[in-house]
Amino acid sequence: MSNKHISWNGAIQPEAIEILKGEGGMIVSPTKVGYIIMTSDKAGLERKFAAKNRKRNKPGVVLCGSVEQVKELAQMTPEIEAMYQRHWDQDILLGCILPWKDEAKKMIPADGSQELMMDVRDTSCFVIKFGTPSENIAKHMWEEYGKFSFASSANPSGQGNRGLVTGIGDQIEQAADLIIEANDYVASIQPNETAETRYEQGVMVSMVDEQGHLIPQQNGQVGVQPAPIVIRKGLDVDKIMKNMSDIFNSWDYRHGFYY
């Protein structure tokens, strides 16, 4: 155990804030589905890609500590806003692929972060309710320092971490500045699941067309296309699909359908 391993303190972890508010910081932090890498600028994102040997074509994940932050950053229809609010109120992990607002793009550090945190269509996955340890950090970083929190699963590429800090692999462990441990917290979210049956990720819903433009408002009509697409199943997928059925008359399920 190196001194960069610490146990989650149950609140905002000051050591994490200290690292992420500086330049190029990269930490490993617990969520509802396992451990993630958190960074806040281009230097940190570059370190993340190096630590994971990862391709750069997938949409970046932006961790949001409030629905207000999602509204500030992303283009949404009232229906999509309602979906975020409902999942916020029910404490359900949700990530939607959305286009950025033009004014929000100007808030992104002018250090080349943009090309690493969006896909070629200028969309990102905006995630809420991802788990208290990391939510606390993302909320504090945004509200106190105006800094984004970018995330990626802390997995050796192609493998899951099984919700255990030992599962992040040597390469990520050596690369990180800080590792916050909370195996008990992660296990408490899916108490009846085994390492084989537990979800390693959150649900991702695409709210854009193939060009990255926002889907239209449905207004209770039937067959409006393009419609929301569940592109990744994960924790609470059953609850999320029920909520989607309440808000949208049409939506698709296509697990693994990135683009």
Per-residue confidence of the chain (259 residues) as pLDDT tens digits? 458 999 999 999 999 999 999 999 999 999 999 999 999 999 999 999 888 876 666 678 999 999 999 999 999 999 999 999 999 999 999 999 999 999 999 998 888 888 888 888 999 999 999 999 999 999 999 999 999 999 999 987 677 899 999 999 999 999 999 999 999 999 999 999 998 899 999 999 999 999 999 999 999 999 999 999 999 999 999 999 999 999 999 999 999 987 5
CA separation for the pair 209, 216 (Å, rounded): 10
Strands of the sheet with 204-206, listed across from one edge: 5-7, 178-181, 26-30, 35-39, 150-153, 61-63, 123-128, 94-99, 204-206, 229-232, 252-253
**Alpha carbons within 13 A on the beta-carbon side of 225:** 3
Cβ neighbours of 100 (radius 10 Å): 22
Q: Which of 189, 219, 209 is nearest to 82 (CA)?
A: 219
CA separation for the pair 122, 120 (Å, rounded): 5
User: In the 8-state DSSP scheme, what is residue 124?
Assistant: E
Q: What is the pTM of this model?
A: 0.95
Q: Are 119 and 59 in contact (CB under 8 A)?
A: yes
